[in-house]
Structure 1
Amino acid sequence: MERADSGSTVVVRCIDGEKLPDALLGLEIQAAGVGPGIGMVRDLTLGYWDGKKYVEERVVEPVELLSLQGNLGDEDGKPILHAHVVVGRRGGEAIGGHLLAATVHNTAEIILVRLPGVRMERRRDPTGLLGLHPRRVGG
């Protein structure tokens, strides 16, 4: 991974073979907005919430990463990435969903904006989803 860090913004270029979301979680950023993100991925697992659980769809072939956006936060003190993606297949078909896992194919370019003084906590809510509960921390 290549990265440039301005203090408030981090720009990363993930290289072929890196795993998402692990590469972003490895940045050890506690709270951030994630996206935009573009590039290519393969071995993608998308999630669709059916009201009770995530139904998974696998996309093995390389696809264009048309959009990645979400946030970095924590669940019980452990880092978590909540991100949605839209990808394009050869021929122009677009599909999307919750990013569960992917392998970077060639490259992925992603921008993260740190949120100092904010905790992006995720807790299970009555729907079964991990709801976002942002709060101000520190001075």
Structure 2
Amino acid sequence: MRYAATSEIVAIRLSEGEDVRSCIARVCEENNIDSAVVVGGVGMLRDVTFGWFNGNEYVTKEYGEVFELLALSGNVSIKDQALYPHLHGALSKPDHSVVGGHLLRAVADHNVELFLKPLNTISLARKFDGWFDAILPLKRE
């Protein structure tokens, strides 16, 4: 993984075999970023697990094939006192059909480029609201 980070933007380049969520968390930790918006990403992914929250748990579906990353969105917040990348993605198969959802796991296949916008005036935390750990945005003092 290679990256450059400023208060304005973080550009991350993942290489073959690197896990998307753990790399985002590591970059944020190394740069003291506790809240960010995932602006987007492009590249190729494999070993993908999507989740669908049914109100009690995530129902998961795993894919072992290689996909092109069409869209990536989400945020980084604090959940249970740890950095939590909350990601959603849309991925294309070779036949141009698309799968997507809550991205629980994804591994870079050769190359992935990600962009994050650190939040300096707002902090994002997660708090259980009776259904799930919902985002709790707060203005920083």
- On whether the aligned pair clears a TM of 0.5, the verdict is yes
Residue identity over aligned pairs, in percent, reads 31
After TM superposition, list the pairs within 5 Å mapping 1:106-121 onto structure 2.
106-121=110-125
What are the residue-to-residue correspondences of 1:44-123 with 2, within 5 Å? 44-123=48-127
Cα deviation digits, residues 61-87 of structure 1 (max 9, x gap) = 111111111000101321101110010
TM-score, structure 1 length as denominator? 0.93
| Structure 1: 4+ residue segments shifted above 3 A | none
TM-aligned CA deviation for residue 125 of structure 1: 1.9
Shift of 1:31: 0.6
Instruction: Identify the structure with the greater helix proportion.
Output: 2
Instruction: Output the amino acid matched with 2:133.
Output: L
Gaps of 5+ in 1: none
> 1:5, CA displacement in angstroms?
2.1
Q: Tell me which residue corresponds to 1:131.
A: 134
5+ residue gaps, structure 2: none
1:20, CA displacement in angstroms? 1.9
Question: 1:110 and 1:83 mapped to 2: Cα distance?
Answer: 12
